[in-house]
Amino acid sequence: MTTPRRATAKRSAPGREVPPWQPLLAFFVLLAVVYGLIAFTGGGSFEPKLGIDLQGGTRVTLTARTEDGKKPTKEQLDQAKQIIETRVNARGVAGSEVVINGDNLIITVPGEDGRQAQTLGQTARLYVRPVEGSVPATPQKAKPPAPKNTDTSVSEETARQIAEQRKLRQAPANATEARLAELRAQMTKVDCSTDSSDPLLGNDLSDQYLVSCSQDGKEVYLLGPQIIDGRDVKTASSVLSSQSGRWVVNVEFKGAARDFWPKYTGQNTGKQTAFTLDSRVVSAPQINGAITTPSTEISGNFTQTEADDLANILKYGSLPLSFKSSDTESVSATLGLASLKAGLIAGLVGLIAVAIYALAYYRMLGFLSIASLILAGAMVYGIIVLLGRWIGFTLDLAGIAGLIIGIGMTADSFVVYFERIKDEIRDGRTFRSSVPRGWVSARRTVWTGNAVSLIAAVVIYALAVGEVRGFAFTLGLTTILDVVIVFLVTHPLVVLATRSEFLSRPSVNGLGAVSEVARSRREARRKAVARHAADQNAAAQNEGAKR
């Protein structure tokens, strides 16, 4: 006797699911890790970094200086702006701005400290020079402050000052001993104070001897002609030295410099070699032996920020012009704060309206939606605080717009999921059996929709500049978190709700009861399946009787 085959439904039931407490536990562990990092790193501040339009900032005007005193060309200014923008973008989504205004570059950075803008505007002419001698810097008499020059155009006076300093502090490579003696005498007369205005900064001739100060103003060096140019730097990175416990910059050379450096260090063991940046000595280490490793360490009394800045400007090359900081001013955030207040009020009204609609339409599931949105907001806020510390991310109005849109997309994912469950209930199934089946179809839609949004955010971030990058960044961040929330929070909560007899009631969960039409259709399908199985069984019995 042949055993009849069972008739199968059109859609197979989903496989065994992970217990809902496991993804929920994973999410709360992630949330605890995020806020634990906030509490125990970076001073424990729970406030994110704000952009220029929300907290104000500092605007620094950098006046271009040319060696011949002529006006810089448009090509030179455009190239300088492009390099500085590259340096800005390498710092992360910090909200800095770079614009050309006549012969000046205007850099605006968040916060009240203009040091970052001045660092971004460094010419970054790096040379490696042999040290011919050094003496402690001699304090010079204080000079009366120069009157503020309201005319920021480049004048011939700058060219005259550069030429004068070259005569005093530079000499050709074939200079006589008498000329070198004059340079050594000049070492005690150089003003190395950090607030001094040195016209030679970034304008030294690299193929000549140079009298130069250290960056901290404590030492004066007599340096030989350069042996390696900064254009031979392949890459640079800041690291925390395991030996000294201080921040250093690792530089890797390329081309002929890569082959020359091991030979030079092997032949000059015991001598000092200086790394100069814009005519100032950053580091003058003693050579202890041949350096055969790919990277060379530039050490100094660097903070982490200073090491990051130095590696950043070395990595992207020197500017075609040297710049002098001619003006620094604060930028007010009054307009931005007023816009933020209006936007937050509008956003709050919208969220309240969404919450009321969710509660009225989905009832119990509306509470799950609100709880999921609150947890999503908590996770987003914590990550933004950490990103402000780690990559310099600053939150501006455009970034807030990206957050609002991203959170709205998260609410859309809830609607997609809940409507799939309602479709299954309309098909005659119970709440408990509808959830896993609805989840199978809903998660594909959630994956697809968020993938499209993430691709759009990545493309905008790659092609845009300024505030638009902040919008794309927060949109991409909330898109990723949307998937995390739906998979680790919302779906497990709904699964837990199906195990409650009270929450499974149609009047409570807001999904509606199984309609009589759905019941009749389901009963008809059941009878049809049973009738088909009986027919097959009878046919098998008749076939057996004939045999």
CATH number at residue 198: 3.30.1360.200
Does residue 425 contact residue 434 with C-beta atoms inside 8 Å? Answer: yes
Domain membership of residue 449 (yes or no) is yes
Domain membership of residue 116 (yes or no) is no
Helix or strand or coil: residue 39? helix
Does residue 315 contact residue 127 with C-beta atoms inside 8 Å? Answer: no
Task: Provide the pLDDT for residue 251.
Answer: 87
| Assigned token pair, 116 | 């970052």
Q: Are 296 and 322 found together in one domain?
A: yes
Beta strand spans in 279-321 (E): 280-283, 295-302
Number of domains in the chain: 2
Q: Last residue of some domain: 301, 327, 353?
A: 327
* Alpha helix (H) residue ranges in 486-515: 491-498, 506-509
Does residue 84 contact residue 319 with C-beta atoms inside 8 Å? Answer: yes
Share above pLDDT 90 across residues of the chain, in percent, rounded to a whole number = 20
Q: Are 284 and 417 found together in one domain?
A: no
**Measured between alpha carbons, how far is residue 299 from residues 175, 186, 250, 409, 538 in Å?**
31, 27, 9, 48, 91
Query: 69: Cβ–Cβ under 8 A, 6 or more apart, which residues?
Result: 154, 155, 156, 157, 158, 159, 160
Domain membership of residue 77 (yes or no) is no
Task: Provide the pLDDT for residue 224.
Answer: 93
Domain membership of residue 182 (yes or no) is yes
Q: Are 180 and 233 found together in one domain?
A: yes
Q: Are 315 and 182 found together in one domain?
A: yes
Task: Please name every residue paired with 62 in a beta bridge, in sequence order, or none if there are none.
Answer: 105, 325
* Side chain identity at residue 442, one-letter code: A
Domain extent at residue 138: 124-142+155-327
Length of the chain equals: 547
**Measured between alpha carbons, how far is residue 514 from residues 426, 520, 521 in Å?**
6, 10, 11
Query: 538: Cβ–Cβ under 8 A, 6 or more apart, which residues?
Result: none
Q: Are 356 and 446 found together in one domain?
A: yes
Average confidence (pLDDT) over 456-485:
87
* Side chain identity at residue 390, one-letter code: W
Query: For residue 234, which of 304, 290, 316 has the smallest C-alpha distance?
Result: 316
Domain membership of residue 532 (yes or no) is no
- The tens digit of pLDDT for each residue in 274-291 reads 888 878 888 888 888 888
Model confidence pTM above 0.85 = no
Q: Are 279 and 366 found together in one domain?
A: no
- Of 537 and 484, the structure prediction assigns the larger pLDDT to 484
Does residue 486 contact residue 494 with C-beta atoms inside 8 Å? Answer: no
Q: Last residue of some domain: 304, 327, 350?
A: 327
Average pLDDT, the chain: 79
For residues 153 and 150, what is the distance between their CA atoms, to the nearest angstrom?
A: 9
Domain membership of residue 527 (yes or no) is no
Q: Are 260 and 380 found together in one domain?
A: no
- The tens digit of pLDDT for each residue in 519-541 reads 556 566 666 777 777 777 777 77
- Cβ atoms < 10 Å from Cβ of 197: 12
Task: Provide the pLDDT for residue 366.
Answer: 86
Position of tokens 């609607």?
415
Query: For residue 433, which of 5, 11, 3, 6 has the smallest C-alpha distance?
Result: 11
Task: Give the 3-state DSSP-derived string for 98-159, with helices as H, strands as E and coil as C.
Answer: EEEECCEEEEEEECCCCHHHHHHCCCCCEEEEEEEEEEECCCCCCCCCCCCCCCCCCCHHHH
| Residue 2 clears pLDDT 50, i.e. is over it | no
Q: Are 362 and 441 found together in one domain?
A: yes
Query: For residue 54, which of 425, 460, 335, 379 has the smallest C-alpha distance?
Result: 335
Task: Provide the pLDDT for residue 108.
Answer: 79
Q: Are 318 and 391 found together in one domain?
A: no
Task: Please name every residue paired with 99 in a beta bridge, in sequence order, or none if there are none.
Answer: 106
User: DSSP 3-state helix, strand, coil percentages of the chain (rounded to 5)?
Assistant: 55, 15, 30
Task: Provide the pLDDT for residue 76.
Answer: 80
| Residue 8 clears pLDDT 70, i.e. is over it | no
Domain membership of residue 14 (yes or no) is no
